[in-house]
Amino acid sequence: MRKLISSAMMVVAGIVVMFSLASLPTAGQVPASRLPRAPDGKPNLTGLWQAINSANWDIQDHAARQGPVIALGAAFSVPEGAGVVEGNEIPYRPEALAQKKENFSKAMTLDPEVKCFLPGVPRATYMPYPFQIVQSPTTVLIAYEYDNASRIVYMNSKEEAAADSWMGWSRGRWEGETLVVDVTGFNDRTWFDRAGNYHSDALHVIERYTPIDADHLMYEATIEDPKVFTRPWKMSMPLYRRVEKNAQLGEYLCVEFAEELMYGSLTKQTSK
């Protein structure tokens, strides 16, 4: 796969166009005094945000490849993409790596996304759909377009999850300008991507949302799961504010699209 560099060349209709990737904003580029502020003085993260990458296909570096449904041709193929995993290495235990490979080979039946199950954390952040943050001093609501998923971040709370769930239990705190979210209480039924990367019910995620400027956040997620991985590992990516006029969160209610796949055989048996 081609490596990304600080400058790149693109050929369009025989014309060579040079562009620089170094022009993207970086953390600390804008003085903290110029960041939008909430009434309590904390950075104001309220808004509609979206990741722009191919991590939902594969969180590691990957070349373009044929999709799992050949009849759809290029419409369901996998685009090339740079990974979001630090060092591009996921430290699987040997037996867990074997399970990951099996997941990938059977993704069309095993991937929770195919069945419209809730996406979990951090996958909900980098699916190719926007999500909305609504911030207050005591709670932060994060609502996702995909499957109407949502979760509440309880600020400065010590309360533990009452039961394991798809989206986990989120507790938040501020470290300077960064919103830190500690997420536990997961079940073992979500994946990190369509490539079969997965976790157990021992998953622990530490998220960090750091404002770069008014319209960009740097997102980091540290993953810990001793049942599946030999050590903690991290993924990171920028998040972009949706700034078009009247930007709003839509509804992607995908359950009805999965019903025939999951229960069609039962319906056919009943109708006989």
Query: What is the residue extent of each domain of the chain?
Result: 27-271
pTM of the model: 0.86
Query: What local confidence, expressed as pLDDT, does residue 52 receive?
Result: 97
Cα–Cα dist 42/173, whole Å: 11
Please report the pLDDT score of residue 1 as a whole number.
45
The pLDDT value recorded for residue 8 is: 38
Phi, psi of 86 (to 5 degrees): -60, 125
DSSP one-letter string for 245-261: TT-----B--HHHHHHH
Record the tokens describing residue 15, joined without a space. Answer: 């014309």
Cis peptide bond prior to 238, omega within 30° of 0: no
CB atoms within 10 A of CB 252: 15
Task: Report d(CA 63, CA 101) in Å as an integer.
Answer: 17
Q: What per-residue confidence (pLDDT) applies to 270?
A: 55
Query: What's the confidence (pLDDT) of residue 233?
Result: 98
Local structure of 168: helix, strand or coil: coil
Q: Give the length of the chain.
A: 272
pLDDT at residue number 111: 94
CATH superfamily of 27-271: Calycin beta-barrel core domain (2.40.128.20)
Return the pLDDT at 27.
53
Please give the average pLDDT of every successive group of 10 residues along the chain, which has 272 residues: 40 40 52 85 97 97 91 90 97 98 94 95 97 97 96 97 97 98 98 98 98 97 98 98 92 85 65 52
